Amino acid sequence: MSDYAWFGIAILVSYALGSISWGVIITKFLGTPNLRTTGSGSTGMTNVMRSAGILPSIVVLILDTSKGILAILISGYIGNSLEISSGQEFLDMSCGLAALIGHNWSIFLGFHGGKGIATGLGALLVLSPWLGIAGLSAFLPVTLLSKYVSLGSMVGLIVGGGGLLVCSILGIYPTGHGLYGGIGIIIIIYRHTENIQRLLSGTEARLGKKIKP
């Protein structure tokens, strides 16, 4: 099998992995309201928190983050097996973005899904642990002070993903990794369009507010 075929398999596996909606699976198991028809309609951690509580949301956060981590590990495994070098950064980028796209537009949910923060963070933590930690460090205080998870998420996104893009431009990280940061920002900001509109209008739900059944 050619290298290109293995690259395609790695990307498809990463997309399928990203498409697994742990939020839907866990809330269905718990018998809580259907995430797709309650709250924001997102299948991610924040909507799980409002629907099922903090402990299930933490589990979903960990599992969604692991999807991004595994996507980059799959890329690395394929790259090492094929003994590639110059194309590894672009395979990393492709697998990371495939997992992110799968989370946001899951093939198992009719191309609906979450907002991509946790899955995107997972890939970032492998590509650049320090920038992943920096993104988290920006997310936490903004979220706790403002009580807006979406605002904290986007600030963390700019710090982490934007930092990866800038470091790539400066030659600190490979071009492919910088493209992951830049394209990831565009995808996740797009998915937060409604959140941005609600933030501007003052109608965004604050942290801790539960949705009505």
Q: Do 77 and 55 touch, CB atoms closer than 8 A?
A: no
Query: What pLDDT, in 10s, does the model give residues 168-197?
Result: 999 999 999 999 999 999 999 999 999 999
Total domains in the chain come to 1
pLDDT reported for residue 149: 92
Give domain status of residue 37, yes or no: yes
pLDDT value for 209: 60
The first and second tokens of residue 157, run together, are: 């996104």
Scan for tokens 């940061």, then name that residue.
181
The model's confidence at residue 59, banded by pLDDT at 50, 70 and 90, is very high
Domain that holds residue 119: 3-201
Beta bridge partners of 106: 112
Q: What is the average pLDDT score of the chain? A: 91
Task: Tell me, yes or no, whether 208 lies in a domain.
Answer: no
Considering the domain boundaries, does residue 14 fall inside one? yes
Give yes or no for a contact between 71 and 99, defined as CB atoms under 8 angstroms apart: yes
Q: Rounded to whole angstroms, how far apart are CA atoms 173 and 185?
A: 17
**Has residue 99 been placed in a domain?**
yes
On whether residue 210 sits in a domain, the answer given is no
Chain position carrying tokens 């924040």: 46
- Is 207 domain-assigned? no
Q: What is the pLDDT of residue 205?
A: 84
- Within a domain: residue 77? yes
* pLDDT tens figures, 105-124: 999 999 999 999 999 999 99
Rounded to whole angstroms, the Cα distance separating 117 from 79 reads 26
Query: Which range among 155-164, 188-197, 200-209 shows the weakest confidence by mean pLDDT?
Result: 200-209
Burial of 171 (0-12, 13-18, 19+ CB in 10 A): exposed
pLDDT band at 55 (very low <50, low <70, confident <90, very high): very high
Percentage of the residues of the chain whose pLDDT score is greater than 90: 73
pLDDT at 136: 95
pLDDT at 18: 97
pLDDT at 211 (0 to 100):
53
pLDDT of residue 208: 63
Residue 211 lies in a domain: no
Residue 94: closest CA among 182, 35, 210, 177: 177
